[in-house]
Amino acid sequence: MSKRYDLLIFDWDGTLMDSAGVIVACIQQASADLGWPVPSRAAASHIIGLGLKEAVATLFPDLPEAEHPKLVERYRYHYLGQDHEIPLFEGARELIEDLHARGYLLAVATGKARRGLDRAFGHSGLEKYFHASRTADETFSKPHPAMIEELLAELQVAPERALMIGDTSHDLEMARNAGIDSLAAGYGAHPAEHLADYGPVALCQNFAELAGWLRANA
Is residue 2 domain-resident? no
Q: Which residue range forms the structural domain that includes residue 31?
A: 20-84
CATH classification at residue 162: 3.40.50.1000
How does pLDDT run across 14-62, given as a tens digit for each residue? 999 999 999 999 999 999 999 999 999 999 999 998 988 899 999 999 9
Q: Are residues 158 and 213 in the same domain?
A: yes
How does pLDDT run across 147-182, given as a tens digit for each residue? 999 999 999 999 999 999 999 999 999 999 999 999
How far is the C-alpha of 101 from the C-alpha of 99, rounded, in Å? 5
Q: Are residues 176 and 71 in the same domain?
A: no
pLDDT of residue 53: 85
| pLDDT of residue 210 exceeding 70 | yes
Confidence of residue 83 (pLDDT cuts 50, 70, 90): confident
Domains in the chain, number: 2
Q: Are residues 30 and 15 in the same domain?
A: no
* % of residues, the chain, pLDDT over 70: 100
Say what the pTM is. Answer: 0.92
CATH classification at residue 67: 1.10.150
